[in-house]
Amino acid sequence: MRSIRKPTRASRLVALLTVPTALLLGALPTLASPAENGQVEPSRKSSTEQNGVALMRIVAADKGEVDRLADLGVDLVEYNKPLEDGIEVHAVLSPEETTALRAMGFDVQGKISDQDDYRANVAERKAAIAAVDAAALDNDQLTVLRAEWFTSLDGNRFLSFEVKSDAGADSATVITASWDTGMDTPPASGGTATMSRFTDAGQYMYHRFTSPLALTTAEPNRVTFTSSKGGTVKASVTQWLGKPKEAPDEHYVSDFVDHYMDPTEITERIVGLAAEFPKITQIIDLPNLTNGYRRKAQAQFGTAAASTIYVTTKAWGHEGGNDTSVSLINPGAANQPLTVLVAGKTVIVSLATNGTGALTSTAAQVVAALNADAASSALLTASTYRGNAGAGLVATAGATRLSDNLQAPPSISREPFQMKALRIGRAKDGSKPGVYLYCQQHAREWVTPITCLETAERLLRNYEQDTKTRNLVNGLDIFILPVVNPDGAHYSMYDFNSQRKNMTNHCPDATGDPANRNSWGVDLNRNQNVGSFYDGYNGASSSCTSGTYAGPSEQSEPEAKNEDWLINTYPNIKFSMNTHSYGGYFMWAPGAYKTAGREVLPRTDFGTENFFWNASSKILNAVQSHRGTAIWPGRTGPTTDVLYSAAGNSADAHWYNKGIIAWNFEVGADKYNPATNQWEAVGFQPDFSEGHEEAMEFSSGQIAILEVAKAYAADKSKPTAELVVKSKGAGTTDFTFATSEAANVYYTLDGTEPTTSSLKLGFAGYREGPERITITAKTTVRWLAVDIAGNLGTVQEKVLNVPKS
Ligand SMILES: [Zn+2]
């Protein structure tokens, strides 16, 4: 049998027409089989040149003529089309064969295709195969982390996707997302968009949209991610949030804040609340007084750095420093020495002169004279400007009153501040799970203290008539610290609204001049003792003027000591929430990494991470219930995954030191402006109309945290875990586990009894599902689930087989 060319797809539908080589006639010598007549291989079969063989169209007069062609051994193909005047058949012919057939009277017409077509096809095929092979070599593996849509303020709908490529470290890796418009709709009918490559500390994290994409069509059902490296993956698109918390009963009262409040006012308010609700409250005076809203008095003289000096009183401004004055005078005579005269709090520096009466005292000399004089140095310290050698000549200055530059009215105390926490609960004896809600670590985040205050007031004023509130207060031990940073907060409200840190000035002379006064202070969310700057972690600074100054040592600050004291004194605290602004984030540990290699603090385990995510949906649905604000999925998760590294932050200290389930809020989610198609940030101090709404929605979130804590305390049910086989291949079986609730799974592969010391199910990767476990031989798997409340499941067992390799 000879092989038959199959030039068209349609032709294959017809039975093959072949002819025995024995029937070939001498009229077509080139068709003879070499096996029959000993000739050389016919030229048409050359595998290289092929000598013009082509697929030719022949019109036969009738069926008899077709039969005759067949009898001649012509290479007819599976095509037979009746025409008006005959039958069209196709044959594969060399030019010689064509000539011979025409000579025999057959109507051989033109070519259908020839070697040029063939060569083009071969070339095209080769290129296609090469492309496929190249792609096969490089094809990246895409892992979908999250694919969600959600509604936010005003009912606008958005898409949020996250996908990780194993080639993502290459900045040339481009991933596009295409989504449909619902079940059974075309794959890209919703749209297509290029994603952003998200990197942090020089490391690739995943691809995402930098902000959620406005959705203009119906909600998608499926999304396809395609990488420029050849990888592709599909995923279902699920709804994020959108399950509003059930509306409170109509008697539920809320909305207790109607203006931004300073720490003095807030503290008076919680003291008043405690007096009003004595049975279910207690005021806790935290043991470390703050530095206080106070400064030393200062003045600076001079314009050029080399000739400038500044002085700082020993006394606080309000304790006499502000009564001090300094003048730099010309003695009015030649050849006078540099002298310092002190009378009471008046300091007069008489500058030296030369023989012509010109002033000759340098800044360094004046500083030395002031500091050497006993009476002067008892009042103040003099310094050259920012470490300058001070070789410039000092100019005269009239009597200048020193000032602490503080603008708050006298009603704001300049004394060290007594921080007060409000404890709410019926038991208050350590027998109930503790929840610690704290706000305004950062002074300029004005919405946060009123959020904590609103929560306290809702709990107290609804206690009598609202069953749910009563259950929370009776079942929990709640600690609310509305202002962690009272000194800085007073400074933010009265002096410098962008103040972030506390008011403790650890700066040396070189940075202690009055123009630096808005840069002093310690970042209280960088002063804790886990994953700190001093441990080598990223996101804090040793510079006393940096916005993220870690302080001279871990827990150097009274405010940080107080936080630590609270969680140590009340070991029943199991949950905490550190409320900041802005941006709309919901975050948890780990919150810091070392820059080199982006070495992250230990990730929470599988069960805890799932607990965090499960709690997220409850807490963030509560936030959304107030006015529709959705915290983005991309702003939910471990701090290091969604924001940055914050060395020495409080939530990490709570989790790693005490095992406290510790969250961070950033109130003030970005708002979408449909007119510009932009997300707009709200800032630290929005108009109160906006700040009020933020306080209301995040107070609802804080209440939901209490509900999560209450549910945790009430959880007595045994978790279960199911073994799920994911894939079987030659010689291997992959499996994982699915749990009935957030729980850890401990397992053995040797038939022994699993305990909490056994192998522990982990994550496949951050923001991914559970890992897959691979076995290569028949294995008895035994496992045990343990939930976050410590409930143990029953040991289960399954024998897994492995297909033969
Ligand atoms: Zn903050």
DSSP 585-609: EEEES---EETGGGEEPPPP-HHHH
> Could you tell me the distance, in angstroms and rounded to a whole number, from the CA of residue 465 to the centre of ligand 1?
35
- The CB density around residue 736, as the number of other CB atoms within 10 Å, is 18
HEC profile for 219-246?
CCCEEEEEECCCCEEEEECEECCCCCCC
Rounded Cα–Cα distance for residues 191 and 208 (Å): 16
> Could you tell me the distance, in angstroms and rounded to a whole number, from the CA of residue 443 to the centre of ligand 1?
8
Which phi-psi region, left, alpha or beta, contains residue 91 (left: φ > 0; alpha: ψ -120 to 50)?
Answer: beta
pLDDT in tens, 536-552: 999 999 999 999 999 99
> Could you tell me the distance, in angstroms and rounded to a whole number, from the CA of residue 580 to the centre of ligand 1?
4
pLDDT in tens, 645-699: 999 999 999 999 999 999 999 999 999 999 999 999 999 999 999 999 999 999 9
> Could you tell me the distance, in angstroms and rounded to a whole number, from the CA of residue 157 to the centre of ligand 1?
28
> Could you tell me the distance, in angstroms and rounded to a whole number, from the CA of residue 623 to the centre of ligand 1?
19
> Could you tell me the distance, in angstroms and rounded to a whole number, from the CA of residue 434 to the centre of ligand 1?
23
> Could you tell me the distance, in angstroms and rounded to a whole number, from the CA of residue 663 to the centre of ligand 1?
13
> Could you tell me the distance, in angstroms and rounded to a whole number, from the CA of residue 490 to the centre of ligand 1?
16
> Could you tell me the distance, in angstroms and rounded to a whole number, from the CA of residue 523 to the centre of ligand 1?
9
For β-strands 156-165 and 142-152, DSSP reports them as antiparallel
> Could you tell me the distance, in angstroms and rounded to a whole number, from the CA of residue 495 to the centre of ligand 1?
19
First to last CA, the chain: 39
Contact call for residues 481 and 448 (beta carbons, < 8 A): no
DSSP state of 42: P
The answer, yes or no, to whether the previous bond of 582 is cis (omega within 30 of 0) is: yes
- The CB density around residue 410, as the number of other CB atoms within 10 Å, is 7
> Could you tell me the distance, in angstroms and rounded to a whole number, from the CA of residue 291 to the centre of ligand 1?
20
> Could you tell me the distance, in angstroms and rounded to a whole number, from the CA of residue 693 to the centre of ligand 1?
18
Residue with tokens 């069509």: 217
Q: What is the pLDDT of residue 48?
A: 41
Hey, what are 787's tokens?
């939930």
Q: What is the pLDDT of residue 738?
A: 95
Nearest to 177 by CA among 235, 210, 226: 226
> Could you tell me the distance, in angstroms and rounded to a whole number, from the CA of residue 450 to the centre of ligand 1?
15
Contact call for residues 203 and 197 (beta carbons, < 8 A): no
pLDDT in tens, 122-155: 677 777 666 655 555 569 999 999 999 999 988 8
> Could you tell me the distance, in angstroms and rounded to a whole number, from the CA of residue 445 to the centre of ligand 1?
6
Hey, what are 92's tokens?
């594969």
> Could you tell me the distance, in angstroms and rounded to a whole number, from the CA of residue 442 to the centre of ligand 1?
5
Q: Report residue 470: phi and psi, to 5°.
A: -60, -40
Integer angstrom CA distances of residue 118 from 46, 75, 131, 694: 14, 17, 20, 70
> Could you tell me the distance, in angstroms and rounded to a whole number, from the CA of residue 212 to the centre of ligand 1?
23
- For the chain, percent helix, then strand, then coil, each to nearest 5? 30, 30, 40
> Could you tell me the distance, in angstroms and rounded to a whole number, from the CA of residue 134 to the centre of ligand 1?
49
CA of residue 563 relative to chain centroid, distance? 26
Q: What is the pLDDT of residue 202?
A: 85
Return the sign of the alpha-carbon dihedral for residues 715, 759, 608, 770.
Answer: negative
- pTM over cut 0.85: no
Residue with tokens 């009912």: 155
| Most distant CA atoms of the chain, gap in Å | 140
> Could you tell me the distance, in angstroms and rounded to a whole number, from the CA of residue 449 to the centre of ligand 1?
12
Nearest to 671 by CA among 703, 638, 633, 629: 629
> Could you tell me the distance, in angstroms and rounded to a whole number, from the CA of residue 578 to the centre of ligand 1?
9
Contact call for residues 273 and 457 (beta carbons, < 8 A): yes
Hey, what are 412's tokens?
């704001």
Q: What is the pLDDT of residue 570?
A: 98
> Could you tell me the distance, in angstroms and rounded to a whole number, from the CA of residue 26 to the centre of ligand 1?
98
- Residue percentage of the chain with pLDDT more than 70: 91
DSSP state of 79: E
> Could you tell me the distance, in angstroms and rounded to a whole number, from the CA of residue 581 to the centre of ligand 1?
6
Q: Is 647 exposed, middle or buried (0-12, 13-18, 19+ CB in 10 A)?
A: buried
Rounded Cα–Cα distance for residues 486 and 290 (Å): 8
For β-strands 573-583 and 434-439, DSSP reports them as parallel
> Could you tell me the distance, in angstroms and rounded to a whole number, from the CA of residue 730 to the centre of ligand 1?
54
Nearest to 224 by CA among 215, 233, 212, 236: 233
Rounded Cα–Cα distance for residues 364 and 87 (Å): 115
> Could you tell me the distance, in angstroms and rounded to a whole number, from the CA of residue 376 to the centre of ligand 1?
41
Q: What is the pLDDT of residue 95?
A: 83
Could you say which residues of the chain have pLDDT below 50?
Answer: 1-49
> Could you tell me the distance, in angstroms and rounded to a whole number, from the CA of residue 524 to the centre of ligand 1?
9
> Could you tell me the distance, in angstroms and rounded to a whole number, from the CA of residue 364 to the centre of ligand 1?
41
> Could you tell me the distance, in angstroms and rounded to a whole number, from the CA of residue 317 to the centre of ligand 1?
29
> Could you tell me the distance, in angstroms and rounded to a whole number, from the CA of residue 479 to the centre of ligand 1?
20
Contact call for residues 87 and 66 (beta carbons, < 8 A): yes
For β-strands 636-638 and 585-588, DSSP reports them as parallel
Q: Which uninterrupted H or E stretch holds 346?
A: strand 346-350
Which phi-psi region, left, alpha or beta, contains residue 459 (left: φ > 0; alpha: ψ -120 to 50)?
Answer: alpha
pLDDT in tens, 274-327: 999 999 999 999 999 999 999 999 999 999 999 999 999 999 999 999 999 999
Residues 6+ apart with CB under 8 A from 689: none
DSSP state of 210: S
Q: How many residues does the chain have?
A: 805
